[in-house]
Amino acid sequence: MSNDLAGLQKPGYQWGYCVDGDPARLAETLVAFANSEGGWLVLGIDAEGKVGPLLSDEDVVDAVRRAERLCRPPVRTVDWQPLAVAGGVAVQLRVERSGELHALEDGRVLMRRGAENVPAPGPEIERMLASRPGGDFELQPVPGATREDLADETIDEYLERRQKRNPRQAILPKDKLLQQIGALTEEKVPTVTGLLLFGKEPQLFMPQCRTVFVKFADTQPRGPEGTLGYGRREEFTGPLPLVIDRAWRVIWEEMDKQAVVRGLQRQEETEYPATAVREALVNAVAHRDYRITGRGIEIRMYSDRMEITSPGGLPAHITLDNLVEEHYSRNPRLVNGLYQWGYIEELGLGIDRMIEDMVKAGHPSPKFESPGHRFTVILYNARDRRREPWEQSMNERQLKALEFVQQNGSISNSDYRQLCPHVGAETLRLDLADMVSRGLLLKIGDKRGTRYIFK
């Protein structure tokens, strides 16, 4: 190695070399440095100080810019410096540790180990994701999206609710406010925040921001007949407020409900406290890691519990041990948006309230799990097993059906579809079959003439 080059190597810095300025090899080192602790990249010589083909300034700039574009997202270089070495000229440039996780075009995530770029194993990728804040990601413009991809009626609803929450706040022009809250760039390109909160179809650009609900008839993933499968599956898309509303409506329909008389008052008890479920749902939507692609939020309802799982482990310094006492937001702009909208009542109190409401209702305290790059809230029900089985498992639709029979003498499949127009025909058929098997209803007639009456 030349004396000039050796003298430049500062202790504690990573160093990489590229003799010919090949963009593909450059991109590998850029990604590895950005995902690790950063470092210095030298073009035009190798690790031994041997000078390669003479590179002009234009060659270097072109090679580096092409390499940056091969990284997902692009890696930026800073602090370019020319180097005088024996036999020619080289260039050194610095790569900072990034606040994002970077990959190559082929999907490889590299990290720096010694003097080599090596593929990062799964657990290491999870660790890197968890240690990086998501705030900058929220402000990234979404490639291909335009101002037309934001729904003005959704924005207007947000503005109205925001003004009610902050009546003394100055009223700004619509697009100016969107820029202020990080939903729109100065060039009027929607950001991740803008698309998630106000997008017409955000899943076209970010398919990972969907939510899936699945109900099982057992404590294991089994369907109504005991086979592997599920009784109902729904997928929710659209902006986050609409996802929350639609998911909550389905959860409410599927929760068991019981009428309880206390004194002279008739009260309805739900399988889980509604406030606890909504907190778990809103927290999953607000705090998930939207950088993780290929996976959405999952809501699984079993006979004894409900599990709400969101992609992304616990962020920053948050652990399962300090989850209640410490507060940290991976997506501060999304959280503030949902707060202004009214989906979050008091910032930082969601977990506390969830625990309190579950315990007050006589249920076990929620269980929290964070295996790998997932976070799961588990709510266990504590129903009275001494009641009759049908009293323990009536859902909202079935209660509507029984009330209809009480008022009209019978109910048909067509009547039931009109009562529950947004529920699939197969789900409604299973509801009626379930009430027949429990001895609540009697099936009479056949095919189109089939009706159900009280047995």
Per-residue model confidence (pLDDT) at position 225: 62
d(CA 390, CA 137) in angstroms, rounded, equals 48
Residue 354 is encoded by which pair of tokens?
A: 């969830």
Whole-number mean pLDDT of the chain?
Answer: 82
Per-residue model confidence (pLDDT) at position 384: 45
Q: Using CB atoms within 10 A of its CB, is residue 115 exposed (0-12), middle (13-18) or buried (19+)?
A: exposed
Say which CATH topology domain 395-454 has: Arc Repressor Mutant, subunit A (1.10.10)
Give the pLDDT confidence of 251-279 residue by residue, as tens digits: 999 998 876 545 445 567 889 999 999 99
Say which CATH topology domain 122-383 has: Heat Shock Protein 90 (3.30.565)
Same CATH topology for 122-383 and 395-454?
Answer: no
List per-residue pLDDT tens for the chain, 455 residues long.
343 444 444 444 577 777 677 888 888 988 998 888 888 888 777 777 677 666 666 777 788 888 888 887 778 776 777 776 666 667 888 888 887 778 887 778 899 888 889 998 877 776 776 666 555 789 999 989 999 999 999 999 999 999 998 888 778 899 999 999 999 999 999 999 999 999 999 999 999 999 999 999 888 886 556 666 678 899 999 999 999 999 999 999 999 887 654 544 556 788 999 999 999 999 999 999 898 877 899 999 998 999 999 988 777 667 787 787 777 788 889 999 999 998 987 666 778 888 888 888 888 889 999 876 789 999 999 754 444 444 445 777 888 888 888 888 889 999 999 999 888 888 898 989 888 888 888 888 777 778 888 76
What are the boundaries of each domain within the chain?
A: 3-120, 122-383, 395-454
pTM of the model: 0.60
- DSSP state, residue 189: -
Domain 3-120 has CATH 3.40.50.2300: no
d(CA 91, CA 293) in angstroms, rounded, equals 36
Angle between helices 274-287 and 350-360 (to 10 degrees): 160
Q: What is the DSSP string of 307-324?
A: EEEEES---TT--TTTTT
- DSSP state, residue 96: P
Strand partners of residue 71: 104
Neighbours of 437 (CB within 10 A): 11
